[in-house]
Structure 1
Amino acid sequence: MKINIKYILISTLAISITVGCKKDFLNQTPEATIVGDNFFKTETDIKQAVNGAYSSLIGMGLTSYWLFGEMRSDNTTYQYNGTDRGLEQREFVDEFLSSATAPPIQQYWQESYTAIAHCNDVLDHVGKISMSDAAKNQYTGEAELLRGFHYFNLVRQFGGVPIRITSTQSPGDARSKGRATEADVYKQIVADLTDAATKLPAKYTGADIGRVTQGTAFTLLGKVYLTQKNYADALTALRKVTALGYTMLPDYKNVFDPANKNNSESIFEIQYLGSQNGLSSNFLYQFAPWTSGSTVTGDPGTNLGSGNGYNIPTQDMVDAYEAGDIRKDASLSLSFKDPTSGKVVPYVIKYNHGFVDRGKTNDDFPILRYPDVLLMIAECLNEQGFAAGGEAFNLLNQVRTRAHLPAKTAGNTDAALNVSNQAAFRDAIFQERRVEFAFENHRWYDLLRTGKAVEVMNAHGVRQMAQFSTIPAGSYKVTTNKLLLPIPQREVTLDNLTQNPQ
C-alpha cells in the first residue's frame, strides 16, 4: 500500500530551522554549547527529533549497509572500472584489503554514532516535555529501538565499541570511556530493545505507517539472541511476532514493488521518497553495470561511471538457486552483456522498478521481513532438538512453497530434498536464508554468527581470483582477525581506542 512519509522530509529540515528560530537574535547561546535544552519545548519538537533519528537510515541505506552487509560476503562483488579508480576503497571492502584509514569504514562509524546521538537527544529530553503517556512511550520506544539497531550493527562489524547513551552537552563530553566489551554492548542492545517492545504500538495507521513497531522490537531482539546462541530467549521473542498478524505476500516479487511499501510481511524497512531531493533511493543506478548505459536503468539522461557497478551478484550467488526458484528472476538478472568483453554481467533487479526523476527512485530497502521470523524460529527449534516432520520443517517449507519449490523432508527419496538430522537442517536453513534474503544485507551477518565466514570467504576468494585477473594480490586472505573491521584510525587517535588486530 502507498504511504505518506512526509515525516522523513520534515526530519532533516525542521530541527535546524526550529532551533534557529527559537534563538533570540541578541541573546544567543555560545556556539561551543549544545542547544538541546533550548530546542526541546513541546511534543512537536520531540517528534521532529525522532523523525531526525529515522532520517539517519536514509543515507546509511544508500551505501554503508549493502557495502558491509552484502558486498563483504560471497553474495556480491563489483564490476571493475579500469578508466575511473575513484572508488577503489569500496573494492577493498569486498576484497578484505581495507585499512583503518579507509573512508568507507570511517563513514560507517561516523554515520552510526551520529544516528545514535539523535536517539540520545530524544531519550534525554522526552521525559521533560508535557505529553500523553502513549506519545511519550512511542517516542521513547522508537529512539531505543533505533539506538539498539545501530549498536547491533556496530558490535557485529567492530566488536566492542564505545557505548554512548546520553547526549553530548559540551566539548568536554566528546571523548568516550573507551571501548566496552562485546558483552556489555549486547547488554545495552537487549535493554534498549526489551524496553522498546513494552512501549511501542503493535501497528500504526495513516501517515505513521512505516515507523518501527512492537513487531520490529521483538524481531530484532530475537535476532540478537539468535546471534548470541541464546535459542530459548530468541524463540520467546520471535513467538510474540507471530501473534501480531504478519503474513507473507503470495508473490515474492511483489514484496519489493514500491506500490506495496510496508506490506503485510514488512517488519522494518528504510523509507524512501523518490520525488524528494535527499529522500530518494538510487539502488537502480548503483547496482547497474557501469558499462550498461541506459539499458538497465532505462534512464538515457543519467551517465554511468565510477558510482555504478556495485553489489554485482557473484557466480556463487547465481548458482545458489535451485531450478524453478522464482526468487532468482525476482532478485537478479543475467540479461546484460558487457559490450567490450561480450560476457554476461549479472545485476540486482530486486530494487529495479524504474525511476521517478533523473537519478531518483522510490524503492524502499527492507531490513526485516516476516519470512526472517519464520526461518529464525525454525533454526531455534532445530538447535533445541531435531524433530523429523516437526514445526521447524513446516516453517522452512512455508518459505519454500512461496518460491515454488518442493518441500524438504526427513527421509525424502530425492537426496537434494532429504534433511535427515540436525546438521542437515542447519544447512537447509542457511541455504534458504541466502536465497530468500539475497541483496537484503543479511548474508555477511549469517556467515559470522554461524561460524562459516572464514571457510566460505576463503573458498569464495579462490573462485573470484580465478575468474577476475584485476583482483589485487593478497585479496581474500580471510582470518579470524579479519572478521572485524579495523577501528577508524581517526577514532583510535582522538578517542584513544584500542585497535582491532588485523
Structure 2
Amino acid sequence: MKKIVLFLLVIATVFVTSCDKEEFLDQPLYGRQTLEDFFANADNSEFVVNGIYRKVNGESWWQVNFQRQINEMASDDNWAGNTLQPRPDITGIAQYNVFPGSTYFNSFWESHYIGITRANLALDQIPNSDIDEDIKTQYIGEARFLRAFFYFDLVRNFGGVPIVASYQEILDPSINDKTRASVAEVYAFIEEDLMVAVNNLPRKSEYASVDLGRATKGAAQSLLAKVYLYQEKWGQAQSMAKTVMDSGEYSLEADFADIYRVGNAHGVESIFAIEFINNPTFREVGAQYAITNGSRGDRGWGWGSPTSDLENAFLSEGDNIRLRSTIIKHGDPVFGDPAVTEFDGKPTENKSGRTNRKYYVPVGERPEPYQRGQIPGQYIHIRLADVILFHAEAAYFNGDETSAKNSLKLIRDRVGLSTNMSLSGSALRDAIWKERRLEMALEQHRLYDIRRQKINGVPRIALILGPNGSFVKYNTEVSTDPFETTNLLEPQDSGRLFDPNIHMVWPVPPEEIQLSRGNITQNPGY
C-alpha cells in the first residue's frame, strides 16, 4: 500500500514473472484498452495468474517465508536457535521484545498486498476477456482463492487490515485514505472469495500433471474449513472438513516419512503446496528452509531449532515414527539418510543441537551447489491430516465427540498409536490439540494454533508463555537437557516477555501508518 508499491503495480503489475515464463513486456501500459487487449490473450491471462502464486511464499526468501519461520521461533516448538550470530531483529520477535518497524513485518505485509493487487487485476480484467469460458472460470477461481489466502495470512498476523477489493481502487488517489476493516469484516470477505473459488475450481484429479500445485476445489474447501475453525464456527468447520475427507481426492500417505520426501511434491496427501526445483538458470526457484533451518554443522544457518519440550511431547506418546521424521538430534543418525550416522547439530552454536527433519535433504539428493534458492522439495500449506484434525477439533466443540474420536484415530493409526475411544470432555479436547502439535510440528502452524485455542476463555499461548507459562517454567525450573541448559547464549527464559494484551497479533508496519496519514492505526501496546 506504499507509494513505491502502487507505482510498481500501476505500471508493471502485468510484468509479473512465473517459473514457467521468465519474460517481461517491452512497453508500459497506457490506459484500460491496452489492459483489455493484453488479457484477451489466454497465455497472458495465465501469465498474470501465475504471477499471483509467486507471492504465496514471496519472491525472495525473506519476504514471507522467513517471517513464517520466525513465528515458529515465537512458540514453544522452536528456539531462535542460531547462537553464533545474534540478530536482535530476529530474536526480538522470537522472545517478544518486539521492534514494530521490523523489516520482516513490513516485507510480509507488503508482499501480501502485492499478491492481492495482482489477484485484483486478474479479477477485474479476466471476466471481460474473450478467452475460453472454462479457463476463464478456473482463473477467476484461482485468483479468488489466492486473494483469500493472502487476507487470511494478514488477519492472523495483524488483526483487521484494509480491504482492497478491486484493481480500480489502487488507481484512485483515495487509496491512502483506507482504514482497517474489522477482523469480522476481513473474515467475511475471505469466506465470500472462497465460496466462489469452491464453485469455480477443478478438482485435483481433473488437472494435468504439469498443472499440479494450482488451486483446486479441495484446497478452497480446506481453507474455508480452516477459516471457519478460526472463527469458532464449529458446525460449518466440521461439515466442510468432512466434505474434503469424503471427496476421494486425497488420502493419508501410508508412511509418514513420505509426506516431505524429496520427489513427492503434490503427493496423495497434499492439498495445497508449492513445489521447488533446482535450476541454476534462475534465482529463487528452489527451497530455502533446508538452509535457513539447517544445522550450522551441516551447511545451514541454524535458525528455528526444535525444543526439547517438543521432543518430550513425542516421547510421552511413544511416538517414535513421527519423532524421527520431525527432529534430528546432535550425535544421532539421520533417519532416511544412510550417509549420516552421527549428525552434527553444532550445540555450541545452536541452542538445542536439534534440527527440523521435515525440510532436511538427504546428502545423496543434494544438488551442487547446495545453496538457498536452489534446493528441490516442497512447502505444504494444507494437507489431508491437517483437515482431519480440523474436523476432529470442530466436531468436539460441536458436541459430536464420536466423530472427533474417529478422526483422531485416523491420524494415530497411521503411526501405530492406539486411541483411547473412551476419552471425553476436556481430556478429549487436550488429546486432539496434542495430536495436532505432534502431527503438524515444525510446519509453521503452532503459533497460530496456540493463539486461537482457548481454555475457559483464556488463549492457550497465555498459559504456555509469559513469566508463569508452562514452557518458561519447564525451561527454567525443570529441564536438564544437556544442550539447551549449557548453551545460554539464547536465554533459557525465552517467552517470558509475552503479554496477552499485546502479542496476540504483530504490530502493523509503522511505514504503512505513515503513508496512510494515520488512517491505518497501530495495534494496542505497540
TM range, normalised to the smaller chain?
0.7 to 0.9
CA-CA distance at 1:386 after TM superposition: 5.1
SS across alignment from 1:259? coil
Cα distance 1:129–1:351, how it changes in 2: closer, same or farther (>3 A)? Answer: same
**1:201 matches 2:229:** no
Alignment check: 8 A CA contact 2:74 2:95 kept: yes
Question: Could you say which residue in structure 2 is the equivalent of 1:50?
Answer: 49
Alignment check: 8 A CA contact 2:287 2:377 kept: yes
SS across alignment from 2:465? helix
SS across alignment from 1:57? coil
Cα distance 1:58–1:485, how it changes in 2: closer, same or farther (>3 A)? Answer: closer
Cα distance 1:195–1:340, how it changes in 2: closer, same or farther (>3 A)? Answer: closer
Distance 2:358 2:117 in 1: 32
**1:476 matches 2:496:** yes
SS across alignment from 1:96? coil
Question: Could you say which residue in structure 2 is the equivalent of 1:488?
Answer: 509
Q: What pairs up with 1:316-465 in 2 under 5 angstroms?
A: 316-321=309-314, 322-335=317-330, 336-338=344-346, 340=348, 345-354=353-362, 355-358=366-369, 359=371, 360-385=374-399, 387=401, 390-410=402-422, 419=423, 421-450=424-453, 451-458=459-466, 459=469, 460-464=471-475
**1:268 matches 2:272:** yes
Alignment check: 8 A CA contact 1:79 1:289 kept: no
Question: Could you say which residue in structure 1 is the equivalent of 2:185?
Answer: 184
Distance 1:493 1:341 in 2: 39
AA partner of residue 429 (structure 2): R
AA partner of residue 131 (structure 1): I
Cα distance 1:45–1:470, how it changes in 2: closer, same or farther (>3 A)? Answer: same
Distance 1:471 1:342 in 2: 9
Cα distance 1:155–1:62, how it changes in 2: closer, same or farther (>3 A)? Answer: closer
Distance 1:343 1:444 in 2: 20
CA-CA distance at 1:8 after TM superposition: 3.9
Q: Percent identity?
A: 28
Cα distance 1:474–1:404, how it changes in 2: closer, same or farther (>3 A)? Answer: closer
CA-CA distance at 1:461 after TM superposition: 3.6
Alignment check: 8 A CA contact 1:261 1:364 kept: yes
CA-CA distance at 1:338 after TM superposition: 2.7
State TM-score, norm by structure 2.
0.82
CA-CA distance at 1:121 after TM superposition: 1.2
Alignment check: 8 A CA contact 2:82 2:350 kept: no
CA-CA distance at 1:176 after TM superposition: 4.7
Alignment check: 8 A CA contact 2:82 2:349 kept: no
State TM-score, norm by structure 1.
0.85
Give CA deviations for 1:436-455 in whole Å, capped at 9, x if unaligned.
Answer: 01111111111111121111
Question: Could you say which residue in structure 2 is the equivalent of 1:125?
Answer: 125
Using the TM superposition, name which of 340-349 and 90-99 deviates more: 340-349
Distance 2:319 2:114 in 1: 44
After superposition, the CA RMSD in angstroms is 2.5
Q: Which runs of 5+ in 1 are unaligned?
A: 1-6, 298-303, 411-418
Give CA deviations for 1:348-367 in whole Å, capped at 9, x if unaligned.
Answer: 01111243232021111111
Give CA deviations for 1:68-93 in whole Å, capped at 9, x if unaligned.
Answer: 2x2221111222434x44x4311112
Give CA deviations for 1:288-340 in whole Å, capped at 9, x if unaligned.
Answer: 232x1xxx35xxxxxx5xxx111110121111102243011001101335374
Alignment check: 8 A CA contact 2:45 2:126 kept: yes
Alignment check: 8 A CA contact 2:83 2:490 kept: no
Distance 2:129 2:93 in 1: 44
CA-CA distance at 1:254 after TM superposition: 0.6
Distance 1:344 1:224 in 2: 34
Q: What pairs up with 1:98-177 in 2 under 5 angstroms?
A: 98-167=98-167, 169-170=170-171, 172-177=173-178
**1:278 matches 2:299:** no
Distance 2:208 2:94 in 1: 40
Q: Which runs of 5+ in 2 are unaligned?
A: 1-16, 331-343, 454-458, 478-484
SS across alignment from 1:479? coil
Alignment check: 8 A CA contact 1:334 1:347 kept: yes
Residue-pair matches, total: 458
